[in-house]
Amino acid sequence: MANPPKAFPVSWDQFHRDCKALAWRLAGPGKDKVEWSAIVAITRGGLVPAAIIARELGIRTIETVCIASYHEYKDQGELDVIKGIDSKMIEADGGKGVLVIDDLTDTGATARKVREMLPNAHIATVYAKPKGCEMADTFITEVSQDTWIYFPWDMEMGYVEPISGLKDG
């Protein structure tokens, strides 16, 4: 029997701190600072970090690209582009000066699809797995490929089994 995936639950507080850390990194030091013209949020996971980063960096132009890759919250399958990028301004110069934001790059397939649309954009994710790291220009935390990240919008309060699988009591 295969080992179950490792669990990495992320609280709202932790996610907010990680998004702010990503914003700090994207703000860049001195001469390397980029003037970002817009954000493209990859939905749905990129919506919350895009809002936080837009606030922190003072970016008002936000577009979405809607790509479904996870089905039933467990299996990553075929990519389905539900809504493309609608703004000609964002697509100008291949997305130069545009930040593409997502919560996670897992295999890199979604980021690769967006890179085809905006080859000069900067792709930033809060979390990255080894197979997806090369597709993110900037990320905050790397987790192992066999880790399942439980984002705060996917969780409710309740009992969680210990890592050992043994019940307390």
Domains of the chain (ranges; CATH) run: 36-143 (3.40.50.2020)
pLDDT at 1: 45
Question: How far is Cα of residue 133 from the mean position of the Cα atoms in its chain?
Answer: 11
Cα separation, 54 vs 135, in Å, equals 21
Lowest mean pLDDT among 8-22, 88-102, 138-152: 88-102
Residue 169 has pLDDT above 60, yes or no: no
Which residues lie below 8 Å from residue 31, measured CB to CB, with a gap of 6+? none
User: What would the mean pLDDT of 18-26 be, rounded to a whole number?
Assistant: 97
Residue 7 has pLDDT above 70, yes or no: yes
Q: Which residues does the annotation mark as catalytic?
A: 102-103, 106
- Average pLDDT over the chain reads 86
